[in-house]
Chains A and B, each alone.
Chain A
């Protein structure tokens, strides 16, 4: 089944404790992206990747890192999480760059930073 898989789905952590949210897609998609979703603010892009080893900042990249060593994986790294990073995070992928084709989303990762 074609899908985007995120882990963990739910996580509660404390300020400053490094964490990684993994994302994997099995559709051989070139483009991958991370979004955060907050009430009243909608979906905002954090980072995106056009292809392996090519990543770039989205609209709200502060406090986050990403890597794209393999085509299928695009982990989101929070080196020192803070409470304002409490949010619902979505990974998405697309065969073509985000404006040229359908984005497939994962099921979301709910992160709470205390």
Chain B
């Protein structure tokens, strides 16, 4: 697979446990945030998004929490499975015409069976 996992913070969890991946974003004007999952050898894949007028959003087994006061975003994965092993990126968009998402460096999640 591709070596995108080098130099990344790693979170190791036991199968069945809950995982929490954290992300600090940079721009207080950012109004839209996305979490992506990247499996080895593949492109990033959308997981869940949240707009700045919300502080929590839930999907299937995933929850995103947004704390605008401290510019912090987290992704919670319930009952983590081996298939959840991947690199997870947060991305922020500060609006404007450019429409450029700024990606975090990523966190590698390893799930132990």
Q: Which residues of A contact B (CB under 8 A)?
A: 4, 31, 33, 35, 37, 39-45, 48, 50, 56, 58-59, 88, 90, 92, 96-100, 102-108, 110
Contacts and interface: CB of A to CB of B under 8 A. Distances in A.
Nearest to B2: A88
Which A-B residue pairs are the 7 nearest by beta carbons? Answer: A97-B99, A99-B93, A105-B43, A39-B6, A98-B99, A40-B7, A43-B103
Contacts, number: 79
A42 B106 contact: yes
B43 A108 contact: yes
B105 A41 contact: yes
Given A31-B99, A110-B2, A105 B89 contact: no
Given A31-B99, A88-B2, A97-B99, A106 B43 contact: yes
B15 interface: no
B4 A88 contact: yes
The secondary structure that dominates the B interface is: loop
A76 to B, nearest CB: 15
Interface string B36-51: 1000011111100100
Nearest to A9: B41
A98 B93 contact: yes
Nearest to A105: B43
B99 A43 contact: no
B78 to A, nearest CB: 22
Nearest to A31: B99
Contacts of B94: 99
A42 B45 contact: no
Given A37-B4, A42-B105, A88-B4, A102 B46 contact: yes
